[in-house]
Amino acid sequence: MRRLRALHEPRGRRDHSLLLLEGTHLLQEALRLGLTPAHLLATEDWAAAHGQLLERLPGACRLQPVSAEVLEAVATTRHPDGVVLTLPLPEEPQAPGPSTGSEGLVLALDTIQDPGNLGTLMRTALAAGVDALWLADGADPHQPKVLRASAGAALALPLWRASRPALAAQLERSRAAGVQLVATQPPHSGAQPYWSLDWCRPTVLLLGSEGAGLAPELLALASHRVTIPHHPAVESLNVAVAAAPLLLERQRQQSGQQPGR
């Protein structure tokens, strides 16, 4: 149990090369994606109610019955729903090639600190058909709170983590390959409304941290700047909220709606 509790922290996840997932939904998502849990702990009540789900477990995964008290001691939530599991830690991919994003949509996030925001951004990105997620520093995308907030999207999205200078270098390569780099600006900044941009072109959307926004050196790389018009009673939108209309605009335009309409 001590080994599983170590997975609450980044060092424990690195040392054991495992992720900790909590709850029935994340187990369902892992199996849907063809992933094999390394460990599965569940209460007797949960196992009795989820026989069909247990039948879907790969042969390499065995169920370990535990008490509700043991499960709560292992989980990061106060009242887990009856099951926790571990998955092998995904391998860190190499830096994307210079033409990455040349055919699709990439979301690049600069120092997103809040795990809930990061998980919500991942879920929105998956819903919008984002091809890859690039992260510069910020919250650990493999921590349990991010995995829960993403509702499993963190397991499905191609992910590259890097320092801010490495992200800047990758953005420069992408722009040189013809990809449009899109940054957001406040209303009344002179930036164009987001719906007037052609999102069907190869695009990297840049979003910055909750407090400071996008770093100046990343903002300077943007080829296009857009804004989400909103009421002046609110100075700025939450980064996870702002991402939704921006990312989904691509699908709206692909459905036949022209930019600017």
CATH code of residue 76: 3.30.1330.30
**Averaged pLDDT for residues 141-166:** 94
Evaluate whether residue 95 is within a structural domain. Answer: no
Evaluate whether residue 99 is within a structural domain. Answer: no
For every residue of 59-116, DSSP letters joined together read TT--EEE--HHHHHHHSSSSS--SEEEEEEPPPPPPPPPTTTTSSSEEEEEE----HH
Do 82 and 169 share a domain, yes or no?
no
Evaluate whether residue 76 is within a structural domain. Answer: yes
Q: Of the residues 55, 88, 121, which one is the last residue of a structural domain?
A: 88
Determine which of 78-82, 97-101, 124-128, 154-158 has the lowest per-residue pLDDT on average: 97-101
CATH number of the domain to which 225 belongs: 3.40.1280.10
- Give the rounded percent of residues in the chain with a pLDDT score beyond 90: 77
- Mention every residue, 6+ apart, whose C-beta is less than 8 A from residue 17: 88, 89
Answer yes or no: is pLDDT of 261 > 70.
no
Do 82 and 113 share a domain, yes or no?
no
Do 38 and 121 share a domain, yes or no?
no
pTM of the predicted model as reported, rounded to 2 decimal places? 0.90
pLDDT at 115: 95
Confidence class for position 90, pLDDT limits 50, 70, 90: confident
Length in residues, the chain: 261
Do 84 and 122 share a domain, yes or no?
no
**Averaged pLDDT for residues 103-128:** 94
Q: Of the residues 88, 114, 129, which one is the last residue of a structural domain?
A: 88
Evaluate whether residue 260 is within a structural domain. Answer: no
Any idea what DSSP says for residue 257? P
> Which has the higher per-residue pLDDT, 60 or 95?
60
Evaluate whether residue 96 is within a structural domain. Answer: no
The model's pLDDT over 19-63, given as tens digits with 9 standing for 90+, comes to 999 999 999 999 999 999 999 999 999 999 999 999 999 887 888
The model's pLDDT over 55-89, given as tens digits with 9 standing for 90+, comes to 999 887 888 999 999 999 999 988 889 999 999 99
Do 122 and 231 share a domain, yes or no?
yes
Average pLDDT, the chain: 90
Do 230 and 127 share a domain, yes or no?
yes
The model's pLDDT over 200-231, given as tens digits with 9 standing for 90+, comes to 999 999 999 877 789 999 999 999 999 998 88
Instruction: Output the six-digit token pair for 7.
Output: 């997975």
Evaluate whether residue 239 is within a structural domain. Answer: yes
Do 66 and 116 share a domain, yes or no?
no
At residue 148's C-alpha, the angle toward residues 206 and 17, to 5°, is: 90
pLDDT at 94: 66
Do 65 and 24 share a domain, yes or no?
yes
Do 23 and 114 share a domain, yes or no?
no
Measured CA to CA in angstroms, residue 33 lies from 1, 160, 208, 212, 215 at distances of 26, 19, 30, 36, 35
Q: Is residue 83 a contact partner of residue 27, using CB atoms and an 8 Å limit? A: yes
pLDDT at 101: 53
Domain count, the chain: 2
pLDDT at 65: 94
Do 203 and 109 share a domain, yes or no?
yes
Q: Of the residues 35, 58, 88, which one is the last residue of a structural domain?
A: 88
Domain interval for residue 232: 105-254
Evaluate whether residue 94 is within a structural domain. Answer: no
Do 48 and 131 share a domain, yes or no?
no
**Averaged pLDDT for residues 95-111:** 76
Evaluate whether residue 116 is within a structural domain. Answer: yes
Answer yes or no: is pLDDT of 247 > 80.
yes
Do 149 and 209 share a domain, yes or no?
yes
Direct distance between the N- and C-terminal alpha carbons of the chain, in angstroms, rounded to an integer: 56
